Amino acid sequence: MPTADSLGTDDLVSVDQLCVQFGDQMILQNIDCHIRRGQTIAVIGESGCGKTVFMKTLVALVRPTSGRVRFDGVDLGSQGPTEMARLRRRIGFVYQQAALFDSMTIFDNVAFPIEQNEPDTRADEIAERVHRHLREVGLPDDVATKRPAELSGGMQKRVGLARALVLQPELVVYDEPTTGLDPIMSDVINELILHTRRMYPVTSIVVTHDMHTARKVADRVLMFYPRRRLGPDQSQVLFDGPPSQLEHAEDRRVRQFVRGEAGDRLREMSIGPARPNGTTDTGHETSPHPASQEVPPASADGSADDSFANGFERE
């Protein structure tokens, strides 16, 4: 995996030995990741693997338990509220459900970041920027006077993208940008992500379950795996490379995920949680290993030793 020394000033985001723990539950452990300027990274993995927590940590919405996250060389953990507010102006965030203000018009939604962060901007300049960014995401000018409830889900997501871009950020983070959309509109969003990269010198992080999106928009893919189902010395990042290599990954857990195959997970979920008498819901004897080790250590190809299978927890 790249190091800060090997990438130098080309890194916009640097993550070193990142750990995030909530109570007794470790969500992310010893994550190293360096993202170059202009790169588009797709972060994939099954539900509960820590994708969203990772994304929020990159923009300092979640504080690391240990480790360090740097944005353009600045350690986010050392920044106070004023400094973080200034840094976040350089980051655009596209929310999963658009997160538009229902009581405001589309114009006011897109203008909101300008008014909050650039209060001296003239009204005519605000109007020009709002309409320009709406047109760039394929929306006509008359949309500006409507309210979010009057728009389709796909149109709302495009408004969310326009709002994220209106301050011309250096980093854009997309949270499940195609969730809930039909295949055609999903591809429209994918094309807009590509168009944004061509139009602006932007670095993008796309958190997604949509493999079509990952393959189409990303030049690098990270795949996370749930910490609770790994052995103590196993990496949580199962894959880090170009999307063209996903189908041929050595780890079969990666291949199963990208092909949408239940594989070992179906077997895991069919074995219920252990009872006090040492059996599961299906009558299996439980593993002699402690309950905290929910998942057996896996071999290098992602296969698990069958002798540990009864320790799986129903999810």
**Is the model's pLDDT at 281 over the cut of 50?**
no
Residue 215: Cβ-neighbour burial (10 angstroms; 0-12, 13-18, 19+): middle
Confidence of residue 122 (pLDDT cuts 50, 70, 90): very high
- The one-letter amino acid at 172: V
Confidence of residue 9 (pLDDT cuts 50, 70, 90): low
In CATH terms, is domain 4-259 a member of 3.40.50.300? yes
More confident site: 39 or 200:
39
**Is the model's pLDDT at 290 over the cut of 50?**
no
**Is the model's pLDDT at 105 over the cut of 70?**
yes
Helix (H, G, I), strand (E, B) or coil at 87: helix
Confidence of residue 270 (pLDDT cuts 50, 70, 90): low
Tell me the two tokens of residue 133. Answer: 């960014």
Q: How far apart are CA 153 and CA 29, in angstroms?
A: 35
Tell me the two tokens of residue 157. Answer: 């997501």
Average pLDDT of the chain is: 82
Q: What is the mean pLDDT of residues 174-186?
A: 88
State residue 199's pLDDT score. 86
Q: Is beta strand 25-36 parallel, antiparallel or unpaired with respect to 11-22? A: antiparallel
**Is the model's pLDDT at 301 over the cut of 70?**
no
**Is the model's pLDDT at 305 over the cut of 70?**
no
For 275-283, the CB contacts below 8 A with 24+ separation are 280/310, 281/314
Confidence of residue 271 (pLDDT cuts 50, 70, 90): low
Residue 100: Cβ-neighbour burial (10 angstroms; 0-12, 13-18, 19+): buried
Q: Where are the domains of the chain?
A: 4-259, 262-315
Residue 184: Cβ-neighbour burial (10 angstroms; 0-12, 13-18, 19+): exposed
Closest CA to 166 of 58, 218, 94: 94
Q: What is the mean pLDDT of residues 229-249?
A: 90
Q: What is the mean pLDDT of residues 276-298?
A: 41
Out of 2-11, 191-200, 271-280, pick the least confident.
271-280
Confidence of residue 201 (pLDDT cuts 50, 70, 90): confident
Q: What is the pLDDT of residues 133-165, one digit of tens each?
A: 999 999 998 999 999 999 988 899 899 999 999
Question: Which regions of 203-242 does DSSP assign to beta strands (E)?
Answer: 203-207, 220-224, 237-241
Q: How far apart are CA 123 and CA 164, in angstroms?
A: 19
Q: What is the mean pLDDT of residues 223-230?
A: 90
**Is the model's pLDDT at 284 over the cut of 50?**
no
Confidence of residue 104 (pLDDT cuts 50, 70, 90): very high
Question: Which regions of 4-161 does DSSP assign to beta strands (E)?
Answer: 11-22, 25-36, 40-44, 66-71, 74-75, 91-94
What totals of helices (H) and strands (E) does the chain contain, helices first? 10, 10
Q: How far apart are CA 303 and CA 280, in angstroms?
A: 22
Q: What is the pLDDT of residues 52-101, one digit of tens each?
A: 999 999 988 899 999 999 999 999 988 888 888 888 889 998 887 778 88
State residue 146's pLDDT score. 94
Q: How many CB atoms lie within 10 A of CB 45?
A: 24
